[in-house]
Amino acid sequence: MKQYAVVAYDYTDDEALERRLAHREAHLAGVRELVRQGKFLSGGAILNDDGKMIGSNTHFRFDDRADLDAWLETEPYMTGRVWERVDIREVKLFDPNA
């Protein structure tokens, strides 16, 4: 399996935070399912200087980029117009147990 860093920034319109909060429970339910499948490695919200959520920074493990892209097509923050810009990079995370 390959590891990926996903850095996603929210839209900046006046309703952006409202959309994020409206889709948050569905997003977190999906993350919990990815945890169960062993695909979610770490992540959380990106905050601005005022502590307001403005994006996400996550690490995943998928078989390949096509599998990651397939997941993104159903991710509530994508379908709900929460994430505007998404940067995806294949990474090799440090394993302290290796």
Residue 59 pLDDT: 98
* Greatest Cα pair distance in the chain: 46
Q: Is the pLDDT of residue 96 over 90?
A: no
Q: Is the pLDDT of residue 19 over 90?
A: yes
**Separation between Cα atoms, residue 81 and residue 10, nearest integer Å:** 8
**Residue type at position 28:** L
Residue 7 pLDDT: 98
Residue 11 pLDDT: 97
**Residue type at position 6:** V
Q: Are 34 and 26 in contact (CB under 8 A)?
A: no
pTM: 0.91
Give residue-wise pLDDT tens across range 29-49. 999 999 999 999 999 999 999
- Which structural domains are found in the chain, ordered by start? 2-91 (3.30.70.1060)
Give residue-wise pLDDT tens across range 47-79. 999 999 999 999 999 999 999 999 999 999 999
- Please compute the mean of the pLDDT values over residues 84-94 and round it to a whole number: 96
**Separation between Cα atoms, residue 7 and residue 9, nearest integer Å:** 7
